Structure formats: C-alpha cells, structure tokens
Amino acid sequence: ESFLANPIAADFSSTFVYAGHGWVINSKKINPYAGIDVKDKIIVVTGATPRGVTSADLGKQGVDWFGYTDYAKKHGAKAILMLPSAQVIANWEGIRRNQSEKGTLGVERFLDAQGAAMPLILSSREMAAALFQGEKPGGVEFSLANLADFQDKGFELSATKKATVKISTSVEKLSTQNVVGVLEGKDSVLKNEYVAIGAHYDHVGTGKPSNSEGMFAPGKGKDENDAIWNGADDDGSGTVAVLAMAEVFASNPRPKRSILFVWHAGEEKGLWGARYFTETPSASINIKQIVAQLNLDMIGRARAAGDTNPANKELAATDEIYVIGSKMMSTELGELSERVNRGYLNLKFNYRYDAPDDPNQFFFRSDHFHYAQRGIPIIFYTDGEHEDYHRPSDSPDRIDYDQMLRVTRTIFMTATELADIKTRPRVDKKLPFETSEN
C-alpha cells in the first residue's frame, strides 16, 4: 500500500497543493499558504516545526496562529497528506501491517472537540516520490531530499496530478481508564495543592513475533518467537515505582501538600490518558493547583560496564538517569531537583535530551507534556532507549532493580521536598513550541 489514512469516511477527487510545515504564525509573519487557494484541495505538509518559534509567539489558536488541520478546515480543504519522516520510511512495512491488522484508534472526546473531522493521509516514500516527480517550483527540482529548503513557502502541484479518495469505516467502541489516587496533605491550606507523580501503565500489547519481517528487529534467543511485548521497562518500571512511592507516602507522616498519583492509560497511542486527565474538569482536583508533575517513563535499565552493543549506546549508565524538562519552565524546580539529588544519592543527572530542539523530541513524547502545556512545571525521568525498546524482549528479567530503586528513591525525595516547601516553584519560562497537532 502506498498510503495510510485515519478512520474518517471520505469520497472525493482533488488536486494537490504543497504547504511546507503547514503552520501559520501571524506574529512571525509565517504563512506558507500565501498566494495559494486550498479550497477543495489536498494539502501536502511535512508537519515539521517552524524555525525560531516558541509558545510566546503563538497567542490564540485559530486567531493568531493555525496548525495545518485548523487551516485546512477553515479554508475548505478536502484532506491533509502528511509526508513521511525518515523514521516512518524506515518502519513503513511494520506500521502498515500494524494498522491493517489492528485498525486505528481514536478518542471519542478528542474527535468531538475537533469539530468536523478532516481526513489525514500518511504518504509512503514511493507515493511522495511520484507526487513530486517533475515539480520544479522556482526552477528548483523538488523532492523528499530537499524538503528543508521548502518549509516556509508553498506552491500548487501540477493540475494533472489528481487523486480519487474513497475511505469507508466501521467503528467499534472500547473503553479504558486512568487510575488516580490522592493522599491528602496535613497542612490546612497547602493540602489544596498537589505534587503529581505519574507513569503510564499501557504498552504496545501483542503482535508479530520479533523474528517476523516488519517494524521490529529480531529479538534474542527465546524471544524471537514471542508475540507478547512485555513492556517491563516501558513502562512497568515507572508504574510499579509510583505504586511503591504511594505505599511509602501512605505509611509515613503526611507531607504538607497532597500527593496526586496518576497511572495514565493510552500513552503509547498518543498520550491519551494524560491529555484526557488534564483537559477534563474534575470536581475534586483543580488542575491549576498542581505545583509540579514528576513523570517516570522507563527507569529500570542501565548500561552495564563493557556493553558495546550499538543499540545500548544511549542507554543511561549505572547511577545515571536522563532528566528532561526540570529547568525548561521553572528555574526554581530545576534548582530544587539538583539540590535534593546532591544531598541524597547524587546520581548523575544527564541533560543530553533536555532541549526542545533535540532531534529525539523526548520532551514532547511522554505524559508530562500535557501537564506542561497547562503551565505545570515538570520533570521527566528516563533511562533512554535500548536494545529491547518496544520489543518482546523488554521483560522483567532484564530490569536492573538496584538502579531502579536508586532512581525511585531520588524521585521520592524530590516529591517530598516539593510537598513541604513554603511556596510552589515559580514558572518563569515559556514552553517550547509543540511539533505536532495532537
């Protein structure tokens, strides 16, 4: 198959326009649609981040800025065609098979909030190459290889290139849930504020064994025929660590602030549980009263001394953990995190991925992000990626339990300090610009 589509019924024929990253940011005078009529067209976008943009530049969505979906709906486009990233190209066969076998999931509440649905089509490399063949905007040959030169300005593709799109759907409703617990603080005033500690309890379920062709490279030994993706590190490690912290907090004198424990559902499908929790009003928990959110997503592995496996090159070493976001929104939170660590186990905090423009985009890829979007300072703890990431071989026997204990204790002490300090960490920095329209 040359493309994949979201489950939105459609039946139309149309030509194409290319719109670069697809974003309109009025304050930065960014508008790749200038001079282009998108009505009844298929808009082709890369979805990349506009260069030099932060959340401070945005303003009100739908007025001061538009994502490609917003713009397409407002101006009567028929659909959006997303060009494939390098990662999508490399894993196309596995992605295609996974969708054909399992279908596509969406959250009903989110779809309703978006209003009229917009067909979103993901192109394969072959389809993109055929689409761009012979296109020379401004006399320059256009292809996937030079997309970076065409991010800020769009153009109409040849009128001879026309697509007929027919998408039929069937819907099955399923349900899942976040798991939430609150331990009330002892201070009569501060108990109305919360220190949130979270992890995601879902993984990627079952599928093809590791030794089958597709998205995942072969496993090791007995794992090669295993079709169950265990998720011990991702994120069984964070899930049980939060549970252990809840037990210790409940067994000892209460801190001043309340502790909010959230085990999020649907992280692997698109941070669904965290988005739902932070967007859905609650009679008992005021989201604005969360002083910080500590997110544990993969804290159970460490690179052993002498490990030369290239797949483990970026795995945190013993007594090391990647820390992301602690200083990104709040200087005070970052300082508190460092101070607690120095006075306790003094782990090595690795800030390699602590940048919004890091190519891995880890800041945007786990549950903490939806808290950050709502002005809540966060700390994301992770051991990085390793040879068993998203494979059946991510099993409990490969967890480094001593490492996991040290990381968990450090996070526990950080949460305790946050729960007892006099004033909540001040947010003094703008959130980096998001890279997707989730």
Distance CA 126, CA 402 (A): 48
pLDDT at residue 361, rounded to an integer? 80
Specify the fold of 179-420. Aminopeptidase (3.40.630)
Residues 6+ apart with CB under 8 A from 3: 81, 121, 122, 123, 124, 127
Please list the residues that pair with 18 across neighbouring strands: 44, 155
pLDDT at residue 437, rounded to an integer? 39
Residue pLDDT, tens place only, 62-115? 888 999 999 999 999 999 999 988 778 877 887 777 676 666 666 766 665 554
pLDDT at residue 107, rounded to an integer? 73
Do 378 and 329 form a contact (C-beta atoms < 8 A)? yes
pLDDT at residue 101, rounded to an integer? 60
Is the CATH number 3.50.30 carried by domain 3-167? yes
Rg of the chain, C-alpha, whole Å: 23
Do 17 and 155 form a contact (C-beta atoms < 8 A)? yes
pLDDT at residue 370, rounded to an integer? 94
Please list the residues that pair with 195 across neighbouring strands: 259, 292
Query: CA 204, 205, 210 angle in degrees (round to 5)?
Result: 85
- What pTM value is reported for the model? 0.76
In one letter, which amino acid is 409? R
pLDDT at residue 218, rounded to an integer? 41
Residue 132 CB-half CA count within 13 A? 25
In one letter, which amino acid is 151? Q
Ranges of the chain with pLDDT below 70:
1, 98, 100-106, 108-116, 207-225, 432-438
pLDDT at residue 207, rounded to an integer? 65
Segments in 56-186 forming alpha helices (H) = 68-74, 86-90, 92-102, 108-113, 125-132
Residues 6+ apart with CB under 8 A from 234: 203, 297, 298, 389, 390, 394
Residues of the chain with CATH 3.50.30: 3-167
pLDDT at residue 400, rounded to an integer? 98
Distance CA 301, CA 119 (A): 40
Strand pairing report for 162-167 and 10-18: antiparallel
Residues of the chain with CATH 3.40.630.10: 179-420
